[in-house]
Amino acid sequence: MMDVTGSGDQNDIIGLLGKKMDVPPGSVILIDMSGNPTLSLLGKAYGIEVLNAKDGKHLERLSEILDKSKADTKKRGGFRFRK
């Protein structure tokens, strides 16, 4: 699951917590367009990967995360949908 925050508001992390309940740990990403360092700390505490769009490395890091996710999915035999 992925979300984007333009304001860097801490409530954006809190809003993701409710959505993340049905998602495996480590598979939630928040792209922070404001570069708020507090979001990164909160993300670590709640198991949410926060990518800082201001540092210029967020697209590279996002690509790494997605590549790893694809590799992990292949190891597990593909996506499985819950009923």
Q: Cα(first)–Cα(last) distance of the chain, in Å?
A: 18
Is pLDDT at 79 greater than 60 in this prediction? no
The span from the CA of 12 to the CA of 70, in Å, is 26
Query: What is the pLDDT at residue 81?
Result: 45
Query: What is the pLDDT at residue 65?
Result: 83
pLDDT (tens digit per residue) in 8-59: 888 888 888 777 677 766 678 899 999 999 999 998 888 888 999 998 888 8
62 C-beta neighbours (distance < 10 Å), count: 16
Is residue 10 within 8 A of residue 48, CB to CB? The reply is: no
Q: What is the pTM of this model?
A: 0.72
Sign of CA dihedral 22, 26, 29, 32: positive
* Domain locations in the chain as residue ranges: 2-76
